[in-house]
Copies of this chain bind each other. A is one copy, B any other.
Amino acid sequence: MLTFNIEHKDVGSKARAGTITTAHGTIQTPIFMPVGTLGTVKGVQQRDLEEVIKAQIILGNTYHLYLRPGTEILEKAGGLHRFNGWDKPILTDSGGYQVYSLSHRRKITEEGVTFQSHIDGSKHFFTPEKAIDIQRSIGGDIIMAFDECTPYPCEYNYAKKSMGLTHRWLKRCCEHFDKEPSLYGYYQTLFPIVQGSTYKDLRIASAETIASFEREANAIGGLSVGEPAEEMYEMTDIVCNVLPKDKPRYLMGVGTPANILECIALGIDMFDCVLPTRNARHGLLYTQEGIINIKNAKWKEDFSPIDPNGPCETSRFYSKAYLRHLMHCKELLGAQIASLHNLSFYLWLVGEARKHIAAGDFASWKDAMVKKVQTRL
Interface residues of A (CB under 8 A from B): 38-40, 42-47, 68-69, 73, 76-78, 82-85, 300-301, 303, 314, 317-319, 321-322, 325-326, 328-329, 331-333, 335-337
Contacts and interface: CB of A to CB of B under 8 A. Distances in A.
Given A76-B303, A85-B317, A317-B85, A322 B42 contact: no
B332 A42 contact: yes
Best-buried of A69, A83, A300, A333 by chain B (most CB within 10 Å): A333
A42 B333 contact: yes
Contact of A336 (B69, B76, B332): B332
B317 A47 contact: yes
B43 A318 contact: no
Given A45-B314, A336-B332, A321 B40 contact: no
Contacts of A46: 317
Given A39-B322, A84-B322, A85-B318, A45 B328 contact: no
Contact of A40 (B76, B85, B301, B331): B331
Contact of A300 (B73, B83, B332): B73
B47 A329 contact: no
Contacts of A76: 301, 303
Contacts of A44: 333
12 contacts: A40-B331, A42-B331, A43-B332, A44-B333, A47-B317, A69-B325, A73-B300, A77-B319, A83-B319, A85-B317, A85-B318, A332-B335
A332 to B, nearest CB: 4
Contact of A68 (B43, B83, B328): B328
A325 B68 contact: yes
Given A45-B336, A82-B303, 12 more contacts: A38-B329, A38-B331, A39-B325, A42-B332, A43-B332, A45-B333, A68-B328, A76-B303, A83-B303, A83-B321, A84-B322, A332-B335
A266 to B, nearest CB: 35
Contacts of A73: 300-301, 321, 325
A45 B319 CA distance: 13
Contacts of A84: 318, 322
B40 A326 contact: yes
Nearest to A43: B332
A40 B326 CA distance: 8
Contacts of A303: 76-78, 82-83
A322 B83 contact: yes
Given A46-B317, A325-B68, A40 B83 contact: no
A50 to B, nearest CB: 12
Contacts of A322: 39, 77, 83-85
A340 to B, nearest CB: 9
A76 B300 CA distance: 11
Nearest to A340: B45
Contacts of A314: 45
B85 A329 contact: no
A9 B176 CA distance: 71
Contacts of A317: 46-47, 85
A321 B43 contact: no
